[in-house]
Structure 1
Amino acid sequence: MKNLLYLSGLLIFTSGNRNVGNNWSFHVPKEVTGEVGKSTTLSCLFSHPQKTHSGPLTAIWRIDHPYNGTVVFKCMSNNSNDPCKPTINRMNKFQLIGNPHSNNLSISIGNLTWDDGNKYYCRVELSSDRHDKYETRTGTQLHLAAPPRIINITIGFDQFRGYHAICIAEGEPAPSLHWTDPLNTNQEIRLTRPLMKHQTAMELHYLTQDGKYTCGATNSHGRVEASVYLFKFKSGNGNDIGPGLLLAGLAFKLLMLLVLLCSAAWYRNGERAQESTYENYEPKGH
């Protein structure tokens, strides 16, 4: 049945379901936390005016913004007996775990990386009619957590820092770092700097003790350690000859590379000379 509304002398027809949009509802969590390297689930349950729907439908997940954000997952089903077949699956890491015909668009995201931290919006389309399409406006914010991990630890030498140690770690929250020297005492932090959003680096300058230097990384999800060793060579009078040995080693490697290049060039020239021995030979006539 239709309702008649008169406004400024104009006759407007509206359907009895003029508030059809209000009969749609979505139930999604405001926030979800997942651990880097593992899987997490984003749930999305909805209801719609038709109550049940056995015809075609499309399920969509997007990021960044509702309605015009980047689509990361999309699947289509012809009927209630037909599984929803993915047509878009970014990085092939999304999996539909709900049944859209049962009003469930929940997905799983596998092998989480830092790039997956975003806001996700689910959408369902029951037909091409605009009243049969609906999308959550609030979305679900995916936060990422990670225990600390030391991704690089080295010892080097230069004229500005002398013997120095560098430790780089990542995690969420970004881990705090500390060094322990060969005497098992905590070393003063000489330089700490943030790198990427989830990474931190710490340096120790002018190392004097030979032995094991241990870097520890800690955040609210755990603690991890890694070690590196420093052994300086001493001359007969006790002077440190480490830098000289480093330069000598580098010079030796360059010399060996030069020898290999010369040998290869000599070998190629020898092959060409051997082939040219016969190229101008012609038998004499009788």
Structure 2
Amino acid sequence: MWQQALIVSVIVTGSVSAWKMTVSPVVTVSRGEDAILNCSFTHKQKNYSGNITVKWLARDPYTEPFFQCSVKNDSMEGGNDCSGSGLKFSLDGDPRRGQLSLLIRKVQLTDNGTFFCRVELEGRSDYLKRKIDLYVAVKPQIQSLSVVEMACGSDSITRSLRCDVEGHPLPKVVWLSVTRRLLDVKHHTSETSPYSLTTCIPYQQEEEVVSCRAESRLGEAERTYPTTNVLMISLAVCGVIVLLLVLLSTGLTIYCLKARNPPPQDSEPPADQELQMVYSVLSFSRGNLVQQSEEPGVIYSTSVHH
């Protein structure tokens, strides 16, 4: 947790005794962290055993306190009802030791503003009260970036790209092209709260890549439309389509080439077909030469004259 504080002291002189309060006029803390609004007091009233009442007020010094507790100053032993674990507001210390600091857990932008530390001593008509400003710092954040079907400001184009930004201090917004150059386009900006704003530009081409960037002394944030996921999905789909077209074109080309140039008929018998040998036996009969083949059912006869 980082905080910036400037300690000042104020002395109030009374008829019975002098007492003083020391506060940190400005406390700066980041959102989500714990903040301690430093406040302490001292008094010279000897043997004081009355109640010490601590009150913390917000925004208006005359409003009802949002936090209040009392501790009897008769002993330094034992606990007190001013400190509590897990509570949004509690004291960071013991009023019997002059410790009045307020602990605010996990501060939010709604906690930003002015607080007042007040202490009262039983039996005294006067009191001490001093102001502390709590500054909740928030780095720039882009809440949303989307296309809306409405005009941007007074522009006649009814389609806009809107960027919603948050930050404290309120950031500055710039629009960038895909080449990282500032867009030379009229944009309209309006504050929706002390910590957020909305800005828009005319947007006609869905495929145009545009970035919204928010800047402040605490840092910067940026978002691109279309988003990276949309771009990756689009590229992946396009890649699949191109691959299918290439495969289809290649298949058609091969088919056409085969149809135009059929392979030549091979006169030789297939390699896996075996040649069958035919044997014949020559025998002589009277007046005839008989040739008998070993192939079943085949008989050749030839006449021979002697």
TM-score with structure 2 length normalisation?
0.60
| 2:128 alignment counterpart | 135
Q: Match of 2:108, as an amino acid?
A: T
Gap change, CA 1:150 and 1:175, over 3 Å in 2: same
Q: Which residue of 2 aligns with 1:19?
A: 15
Counterparts of 1:122 and 1:158, CA distance in 2: 49
Give yes or no for contact 2:148–2:160 (8 Å, CA) kept in 1: yes
Contact 1:164 1:204 in 2 (8 A): yes
Determine if contact 1:64/1:70 at 8 Å carries over to the other structure.
Answer: no
Aligned with 1:130: secondary structure? coil
Look up the match of 1:50.
45
Q: What is the root-mean-square deviation in Å for CA atoms of aligned residues?
A: 3.0
CA distance in 2, matches of 1:33, 1:170: 18
Contact 1:32 1:142 in 2 (8 A): yes
Provide the rounded CA distance (Å) in 2 between the counterparts of 1:216 and 1:18.
57
Distance 1:177 1:223 in 2: 10
Structure 2: runs of 5 or more not aligned: 1-12, 231-306
Name the amino acid aligned to 1:229: P
Please tell me whether residue 145 in structure 1 is matched to residue 134 in structure 2: no
Aligned to 2:103: 108
Give the match for residue 257 of structure 1. Answer: none
Rate the CA distance shift 1:33–1:82 in 2: closer, same or farther, 3 A. Answer: same
Tell me the secondary structure at the aligned position of residue 149 of structure 2.
Answer: strand
Cα deviation code 1:52-106 (max 9, x no counterpart) = 655543222112344x3231211233453242214999x9411211211111111
User: Which one of the candidate residues 197, 200, 203 is aligned to 2:200?
Assistant: 203
1:76, 1:87 within 8 Å by CA — same for their partners in 2?
no
> What is the number of equivalent residue pairs in this alignment?
209
Shift of 1:30: 2.0
| Residue equivalent to 2:162 | 166
Which residue of structure 2 lines up, in the alignment, with residue 84 of structure 1?
80
Structure 1, unpaired ranges of 5+: 1-16, 232-286
Return the structure number with greater helix share.
Answer: 1
Offset of 1:197 from its aligned partner? 1.2
TM-score (norm 1): 0.63
Mapped partners of 2:65, 2:50: distance in 1: 23
Is the 8 Å Cα contact of residues 140 and 166 (structure 2) preserved in structure 1? Answer: yes
Q: Which amino acid aligns with 2:52?
A: L
Residues 165-206 of structure 1: per-residue CA shift (max 9 Å, x gap): 100101122111112234543222421222211212211103
Contact 1:194 1:201 in 2 (8 A): yes
Provide runs of 4+ in structure 1 moved above 6 Å. none
> Structure 2: which amino acid aligns with 1:134?
Y
State how far apart, in whole Å, the 1-side matches of 2:203 and 2:211 are.
16
